[in-house]
Structure 1
Amino acid sequence: MTGTPPPLTDDAGTGLRADRVSRTAGGALVLDGVTLAPRPGTVTGLLGPNGSGKSTLLRVLAGVLTPDTGVVTLGGDPLGTVPRRALARRVAVVEQHADTQVDLTVADAVRLGRVPHRRAWSPGTAADEEAVRSALARTGLTDRAHRTCGTLSGGQRQRVQIARALAQEPRLLLLDEPTNHLDIQHQIDLLDLVGGLRLTCVVALHDLNLAAMHCDHLVVLRAGRVVAAGPPRDVLTARLVADVYGVRATVTHPDPDGRPHIRFLGTTSTHH
């Protein structure tokens, strides 16, 4: 099945939930009782300073890491009981760095997303090729399909990563700071693309104004704990920015939909 995905419902296989998840690394508590349940078809932004646990949480949600306590479920099933290939058909991950092999063509890199749908050593099917064509079209890469990835810009390589994820035909997309190393135009373009996918997306971001523009729901982490969660207009306050990031800011709501805009004024003297 390719093309425009059907409308999402709560039982469409997208029901990812982390319930009181904790994780330690090197004796330090990296995640501390995190609960997260992204709504189907929405973009949830993970915010927090470096070391707050964003990347670890994404890896736990993806099943790459196992929580020490708590449980992550997908469609009600504990993630550890979901076969790896079945998980890869439902959940796709876009890493922080565009690491596509530079000697692959764009089309071949995107075809890697079909691996979970194919038996070992079996040739690609017409459905596989249609999924690849659809993923290229949705990411604006059709005219670059036969170029090698090494000839692309950073923003284009990130689009290849997203296209490869879309070729998996997942219902859930996890993205770890996909806008890092991109200029502002490509950051906005990429997040516009993510928001238009009609998938359940969880994306870790550093830029608070980009998060306010593009996310439906925000979860803010500090030292591995959720300190705020809700729509951007409720979460992104001057007090939160000061408490979590140690930065003085003014927050206004110039847009008709109430999305906040943050103007940074300088660091606070009490934050270390």
Structure 2
Amino acid sequence: MAGTAGLRADRVVRRAGGRIVVDGVTLAPRPGETVGLLGPNGSGKSTLLRLLAGVLHPSAGVVTLDGLVLDRVGRRVAARRIATVEQQVHTQTELTVRDVVALGRIPHRSPWAAGSAADGPAVAAALDRSGLAGRAGQSWHTLSGGERQRVQIARALAQEPRELLLDEPTNHLDIQHQLDLLELVVSLPVTTVIALHDLNLAAMYCDRLLVLREGRAVAEGTPGEVLTPALIEEVYGVRAEVTDGPGHPVIRFLRREAQPPVR
């Protein structure tokens, strides 16, 4: 795999608690694209993201970064390249928005060093890119859920990564914040892998989709190729109509047929 650019999972398996959570999944995002991970709860999306981030180690298969096995790349090098955004982050520490964003610079610091001349401009650029420059001094604890997620993306941007991994970042956000957040994500000059529950959001914002069920990949391709009524019923157990929208498919879920009254 030498010479292979970017982050790649090749036939990865992850066993936990006596069962297989991820079963032989391959994922090779192309530089600059946004790949959506879809599947019901328990399908392995979060575990696959943690394998890509190096937080978990595969039981079989391999995760590579530019053709090198991720375990051999080194934590500091990997942390400079790969940024992660979890579903929700909590802290009891009193931090400003700028403080949180500045945490993204830690991988670029030498051990015990206070920082470098590059930290300030990187943090300022991340705040500006994410629309938070005017809130840099505001307390983290006064922000809404959507604003906190935007700060986490700014923190990831300050890290200056080439790969960005997001685990259901739109959960618990209202529609406006979901759209704003995803508009920001897809505008970033990085390769993105994002786990999502909402199929319409995935269709709108992702270049390519990988669908998981019970840890296995069952479909991969563009939203138009993947999001079919048959696939949605097979994976999610619901009926849906799929129509052509402006540049992407639109999914309309159908109510279950009413059962006849019991006599």
TM-score bucket (shorter structure): over 0.9
Query: Which one of 181, 198, 205 corresponds to residue 189 of structure 2?
Result: 198
The reply on whether 1:161 has 2:146 as its aligned counterpart is no
CA shift for structure 1 position 129: 0.4
What are the Cα deviations for residues 227-270 of structure 1, in whole angstroms up to 9, with x where unaligned? 00000011000001100000000000021x2x10000003599x
Task: Tell whether the 8 Å contact from 1:17 to 1:73 is kept in structure 2 after alignment.
Answer: yes
Verify: 1:262 aligned to 2:251, yes or no: yes
Matched, 1:94 2:78: no
Specify the code of the residue in structure 2 equivalent to 1:124: G
Distance 1:104 1:35, change over 3 A: same
CA distance in 2, matches of 1:254, 1:167: 35
Asked if 1:103 is matched to 2:91, the reply is no
Percent identity among equivalent residues?
66
The equivalent residue for 1:16 is 7
Q: What is the identity, as a one-letter code, of the residue corresponding to 2:190?
A: L
Structure 2 partner of 1:188 = 179
Query: Post-superposition shift, 1:126?
Result: 2.5
Q: Could you give the per-residue CA deviations for residues 43-66 of structure 1, whole angstroms, max 9, x where no partner exists?
A: 000000000000000000000111
Residues 143 and 104 of structure 1: is their aligned pair in 2 closer, same or farther, counting only changes over 3 Å?
same
Q: How does 1:1-272 map to 2 (within 5 A)?
A: 15-99=6-90, 103-255=94-246, 257=247, 259-267=248-256
> Unaligned regions of 5+ residues in structure 2, if any?
259-263
RMSD: 1.5
Deviations 1:138-172 (A, max 9, x none): 11100000001001111110011111111110000
Is the Cα–Cα contact under 8 Å of residues 101 and 149 in structure 1 kept in the other structure? no
Give SS of 1:219's match. strand
Flag the 1:135–1:14 CA change in 2: closer, same or farther, 3 A: farther
Following superposition, the deviation at residue 222 of structure 1 comes to 0.3
Kept in 2: contact 1:247–1:268 (CA 8 A)? no
Q: Is the 8 A contact 2:5 2:67 kept in 1?
A: no
| Number of positions where the alignment pairs a residue of Structure 1 with one of Structure 2 | 256
Distance, in Å, in 2 between the alignment partners of 1:55 and 1:14 is 23
- Separation in structure 2 between the aligned mates of residue 228 and residue 266 of structure 1, nearest angstrom: 25
TM-score if structure 2 supplies the norm length? 0.94
**How far does residue 82 in structure 1 lie from its aligned partner after superposition?**
1.1
Query: SS state of the match for residue 192, structure 1?
Result: helix
Q: Is there any run of 5+ residues in structure 1 with no aligned partner, and where?
A: 1-10
